[in-house]
């Protein structure tokens, strides 16, 4: 897991954490995704009817497999995220564990409040590691991440085409590189990848496939994507899941106070279901369904995920109202019960 890591790394779990700060501090932001398999050690601490993603990540941490991290930063995105912070702090030897408090409401006041929290976080981080995060380094990091987001947006724009240049499986493989690669190398990789597909636009014929939007929380394993695409009659053209669009939507403004701009960018991007529902999310999603000519929506929630499962109820009605089919499925962050999901997905694709 850590053989590819060439510089000191900081673990992160949620796209509400401004990765620019970690990069500006000279660390590699390393996304914590667990191993989709082990729960035994975590289950001696956490009830088993708790978020399986959190239990799995904690288990891998308790096994010592995240020892190479110099620190981890959680957000209070949901109660499970807070629990991961508490358990990680108490039960592992990780040197630095921090919980960043993220507002749930987006307005001028909350942007100012989040800016203060980012400032406090930076001071805490600087003191712990005896380093200085300069304003210039934050501007530089913001430019790098803006470039990254623009490249991903270019790639997504190509997926709007009648014949999208990549499958959902290729997309998840690309994004999984992003979580362990240095941002500059990933930008170079993306740039190269884009030039290859732009010069070779018709490598696969995905034209007549049913166009699927995948929604939900944590999905980093390709297996679910394969079930959707393997029979050859469907292709995922958009993902609204924990990373992906929630990661690259909106650039950070670089013409004013950088912490204010970071705060504004992170709070104003497409809201995750944990945010207060003021209509912004549905406006964004209905626009995406239109622009990407989505034929059907598959919504995957982890078991016991209150945030994602409850928000799916209203979303289902909204999506049915615009005449699109919607499938809700649940997973337990393992690959053990994949056949039952296959039956649901196959039937759903037949209905489209």
Partner 1 sequence: MIVAGIDVGSTTTKVVVLKAGDTKEILGKNIIQTGFNHAETIEESLSLALRSARIDKKDITYIIGTGYGRNNVAFADKKVTEIACHGHGAHFYFPNARTIIDIGGQDSKIIKLDNTGRIIDFAMNEKCAAGTGRFLEVMAKVLQVELDQMGELSNAATTGITISSMCTVFAESEVISKISQGYRREDIINGLHGAVSDRVIPLGKRLGINNDIIMTGGVAKNKGIISSFEKKLDSKIFVPEDPQIIGALGAALIASLETANTKAKKN
The residues of the shown chain that bind partner 1, judged by CB under 8 A, are: 303, 330, 332, 337, 339-340, 343-344, 346-347, 350-351
- Name the nearest CA neighbour of 34 among 342, 239, 332, 338: 332
What are φ and ψ of residue 61, in 5° steps?
Answer: -65, -45
**Whether 237 contacts 212, CB under 8 Å:** yes
C-beta of 239 vs 330, nearer to partner 1:
330
CA angle 169, 244, 294 (to 5 degrees): 70
Q: Any residues with CB less than 8 A from the CB of 29 and at least 6 apart, and which?
A: 9, 10, 12, 19, 22, 23
C-beta of 321 vs 339, nearer to partner 1:
339
Least separation in angstroms between CB 344 and partner 1 = 6
Strands 69-75 and 296-302: unpaired
Least separation in angstroms between CB 330 and partner 1 = 6
**Whether 95 contacts 66, CB under 8 Å:** no
C-beta of 93 vs 313, nearer to partner 1:
313
C-beta of 45 vs 329, nearer to partner 1:
329
What are φ and ψ of residue 237, in 5° steps?
Answer: -110, -10
* DSSP bridge partners of 239: 214
Least separation in angstroms between CB 270 and partner 1 = 27
- Name the nearest CA neighbour of 244 among 174, 324, 307: 174
C-alpha–C-alpha distance, residues 262 and 21, integer Å: 9
Least separation in angstroms between CB 301 and partner 1 = 11
Least separation in angstroms between CB 333 and partner 1 = 12
Quick one: DSSP state of residue 214?
A: E
Element (H, E) at 31: strand 28-31
Joined together, the tokens standing for residue 72 give 């981890």
C-beta of 104 vs 346, nearer to partner 1:
346
C-beta of 254 vs 343, nearer to partner 1:
343
Least separation in angstroms between CB 315 and partner 1 = 14
C-beta of 250 vs 316, nearer to partner 1:
316
Strands 97-100 and 28-31: unpaired
Least separation in angstroms between CB 332 and partner 1 = 7
């Amino acid at each position: 897991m850590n053989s590819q890591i060439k510089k000191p790394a900081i673990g992160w779990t949620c796209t509400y954490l401004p990765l620019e700060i970690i990069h500006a501090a000279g660390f590699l932001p390393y996304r914590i995704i667990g191993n989709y398999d082990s729960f035994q050690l975590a289950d001696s601490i956490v009830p088993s009817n708790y978020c399986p993603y959190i239990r799995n990540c904690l288990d891998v941490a308790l096994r010592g497999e995240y020892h190479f991290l110099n620190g981890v930063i959680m957000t209070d995105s949901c109660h499970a995220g807070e629990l991961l912070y508490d358990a990680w702090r108490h039960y592992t030897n990780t040197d630095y564990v921090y919980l960043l408090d993220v507002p749930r409401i987006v307005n001028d006041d909350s942007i100012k409040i989040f800016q203060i929290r980012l400032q406090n976080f930076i001071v805490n981080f600087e003191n712990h590691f005896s380093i200085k995060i300069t304003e210039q380094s934050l501007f530089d990091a913001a430019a790098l991440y803006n470039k990254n987001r623009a490249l991903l947006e270019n790639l997504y724009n190509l997926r709007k085409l009648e014949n999208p240049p990549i499958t959902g499986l290729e997309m998840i493989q690309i994004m999984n590189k992003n979580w362990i690669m240095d941002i500059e190398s990933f930008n170079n990789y993306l740039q190269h990848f884009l030039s290859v597909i732009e010069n070779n636009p018709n490598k696969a014929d995905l034209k007549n496939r049913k166009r699927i939007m995948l929604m939900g929380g944590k999905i980093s394993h390709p297996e679910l994507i394969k079930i959707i695409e393997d029979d050859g009659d469907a292709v995922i053209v958009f993902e609204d899941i924990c990373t992906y669009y929630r990661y690259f939507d909106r650039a950070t403004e670089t013409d004013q106070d950088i912490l204010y701009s970071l705060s504004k960018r992170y709070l104003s991007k497409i809201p995750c279901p944990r945010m207060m529902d003021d209509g912004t999310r549905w406006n964004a999603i209905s626009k995406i369904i239109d622009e990407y000519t989505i034929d059907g929506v598959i919504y995957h929630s982890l078991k016991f995920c209150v945030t994602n499962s409850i928000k799916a109820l209203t979303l289902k009605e909204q999506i049915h109202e615009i005449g699109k089919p919607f499938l809700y499925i649940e997973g337990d962050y393992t690959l053990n019960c994949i056949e039952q999901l296959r039956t649901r997905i196959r039937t759903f694709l037949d209905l489209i």
